[in-house]
Chains A and B, each alone.
Chain A
């Protein structure tokens, strides 16, 4: 039967399942990682089919109508998957907002400097950070030192959201650490900014680990040499 229901992935991606089978498949999807991955890749294929259908543009009024209707109704949170009700923790949502603002500033700066590669990698980091911040399964961990919070995704991807970390002095950098027991693993550098900093952590953060930030010489060092200005509670 496993193969039978797996085969329905194509029909589901094409919106071609009959109602009963669609419900059966959605129930199965909640428990089958293999089907979820297959569906994700089939959806990319159907996006191609959508693009292949492109033709004339809609009337210009459509945009206004959509925005007007959106404004007119109170936003109701309806679960995308009715069987697995999900809500975004308020903190994560607030963090996502802060992330977008902070990353926007970073991206804008990269654009101004004319460095497209920087802008692209910033975009990739932004996507990764946004993914962790909006994932309802992410956990928020308080900071033991410093202002802000650590958001950890289900796979250990983590984002540090920091308030009140000033731009680092010339010749210095902020360096991130994942501390497991008494070993500190390098987890990236960032310059700090006047506003909220949203910093993706390089590497996976495991249970019991602590994420910390120290000020080091530009370029970073292999082991922390100063007292952390930011440290999370153990994850």
Chain B
């Protein structure tokens, strides 16, 4: 697994050095999940403090409604609470796992709602706005990563980017996309695979070019 280790999206250690009296602030995400499996509420709280904001941003992007987005985050974290014992650290980072759970809930919710189908597609810039208020290391890191991923997305061929964005942010299934775009299902599958593989490559490349370094000032 070491060969697959993500230099790309590793959350910075600065997240762990917030000057708060947080009982579990020094533990890895994976260790926290192990504690959550033992029903440690503080560990769940710490995971929420680390991943909750990104999870909410993601859910909001998919469901486009504050209330529904919070529902998706809440249900995602409750799934973490219930199933932490089944988390397998060698398969995914804990943060990835949590975001996957929240995303699934958001997609379930939006597929139940009909609203998204009539709304215009999200504009890249629409969500790129709203820099976080507090100038923390975390906010700086988020801004850096967001720009890096968006820049990689812009380098994808249009049809591939469209397939990925409509699926991941729009919650459309492959067959829904085939119908909506008027192309064969096989084409959608190929575009999605080629696009995600290319995106992975671009992110690996830009991670090697240079990454944001947290500053340990205090």
Residues of A within 8 A of B (CB): 7-11, 13-18, 21, 36-37, 40-59, 62-63, 65-67, 69-71, 73, 75-81, 86-88, 93, 96-97, 99-100, 103-104, 107-108, 111, 116, 120, 123, 126-127, 130-131, 133-136
Check A50 against B30 for contact (C-beta < 8 Å): no
Of B31, B52, B78, B96, the residue contacting A130 (CB under 8 A) is B31
Question: 14 pairs across A/B with beta carbons < 8 Å?
Answer: A8-B189, A15-B107, A16-B168, A43-B92, A48-B203, A50-B58, A54-B54, A66-B78, A70-B44, A70-B77, A77-B83, A79-B83, A93-B85, A104-B27
- CB within 8 A of B196: which of A14, A79, A104? A14
Q: Which of B13, B53, B83, B100 touches A78 (beta carbons < 8 Å)?
A: B83
Contact of A7 among B34, B91, B173, B189 (CB under 8 A): B189
| Contact of B192 with A10 in the complex, beta carbons under 8 Å | yes
Docked-complex contact A58 and B38, CB < 8 angstroms = no
Interface residues of A, dominant DSSP? helix
Note all chain A residues with C-beta closer than 8 A to B168: 14-16, 46, 49
> A126 contacts B203, CB within 8 Å?
no
A53 adjacent to B41 (CB under 8 Å)? no
Is B38 in contact with A127, judged by CB distance below 8 angstroms?
A: no
8 new A-B contacts, CB < 8 A, other than A66-B73, A79-B83, A130-B28, are A48-B145, A48-B203, A50-B103, A53-B127, A58-B56, A65-B70, A100-B34, A104-B24
Pair B100/A46 contact, Cβ less than 8 Å = yes
Decide: A135 near B88, CB < 8 A? Known: A47-B9, A51-B146, A58-B56.
Answer: yes
Q: A71 touching B41 by the CB < 8 A rule?
A: yes
Q: Which of A37, A51, A97 has the most CB of B within 10 A?
A: A51
**Cβ contact within 8 Å between A54 and B89:** no
CA distance A58 to B77 in the complex (A): 14
Closest 4 CB pairs of A and B: A54-B57, A16-B167, A52-B149, A53-B61
Nearest Cβ on chain A to B32's Cβ, whole angstroms: 8
* Cβ–Cβ < 8 Å partners of B86 in chain A: 77-81, 86, 88, 136
Question: In which size bucket is the chain B interface?
Answer: 35 or more
Binary contact track B5-40/A, C-beta < 8 Å → 1, others 0: 010110001000000000010111011011101110
Kindly state the separation between the CA atoms of A79 and B81 in the bound complex, as whole angstroms. 12
**By CB atoms of chain B within 10 A, which of A48, A78, A88 has the most?**
A48
If over half of B's interface residues share one DSSP class (helix, strand or loop), that class is named, otherwise mixed; here it is helix
B77 neighbours in A (Cβ, 8 Å) = 66, 70
Q: Which residue of B lies closest to A157 (CB)?
A: B90
Per the bound structure, the CA–CA distance linking A129 and B80 in Å amounts to 21
Closest Cβ–Cβ distance, residue A128 to chain B (whole Å): 9
A227 to B171, CA, bound (A): 63
- Contacts A14-B168, A66-B78, A107-B26 given; indicate if A44 touches B177 (C-beta within 8 A): no
Say whether A130 contacts B30, CB under 8 Å. yes
Residues in chain B within 8 A of chain A (CB atoms): 1, 4, 6, 8-9, 13, 24, 26-28, 30-31, 33-35, 37-39, 41, 44-45, 48-49, 52-58, 60-61, 66, 69-70, 73-74, 77-78, 81-83, 85-93, 95-96, 99-100, 103-104, 107, 127, 129-130, 132, 142, 145-146, 148-150, 152-153, 164, 167-169, 171-175, 177, 189-190, 192-193, 195-197, 199-200, 203, 216
